[in-house]
Amino acid sequence: MRLAALAVLAALGVAVPPVARGAEALSGAQLFVRPDKGNCIACHQVPEGAGPKTRSDLGPRLEGVRMRALGRERLRALLDDPMANNPDTLMPPFGRHKILDAAQIDRLIDYLDALP
């Protein structure tokens, strides 16, 4: 239904904003700041130039060296269900609750892995 509505809008020449197109093609950096997806920026800081400046300090600062030391599989486990290792965490289980699908988690891991 949604695709049909988007097709009608496109046929009429109506510009469809990126938010209305869904999150399938969003980059890891975009997922990191999207309130309806990762919204990681609400709790985490990243190095200057890698994302918006924020005073968020609920979660740890995300530095590239630390992300690469954790490794892709550990990052995937943390994003999928951080409560598996820390039941008291406030971080949502993005994969388990289907906030992010597997491809989106992969793009987010790519972003975290590339941080300076």
Mean pLDDT of the chain: 85
Q: Is the pTM of this model over 0.85?
A: no
Q: How far apart are CA 61 and CA 104, in angstroms?
A: 21
What superfamily in CATH does domain 25-113 come from?
Answer: Cytochrome c-like domain (1.10.760.10)
* Mean pLDDT of all residues in 8-27: 52
Distances 101 to 4, 18, 37, 49, 95 between C-alpha atoms, Å: 23, 18, 10, 27, 6
Q: How far apart are CA 32 and CA 37, in angstroms?
A: 8
- Phi first, then psi, for residue 30 (nearest 5°) are -70, -40
Least confident of 19-23, 25-29, 80-84, 92-96: 19-23
Q: What is the pLDDT of residues 18-31, one digit of tens each?
A: 444 454 589 999 99
* Mean pLDDT of all residues in 96-116: 96
Sketch the domain layout of the chain as residue ranges: 25-113
Least confident of 21-25, 62-66, 74-78, 80-84: 21-25
If one compares 59 and 21, the residue with the highest pLDDT of the two is: 59
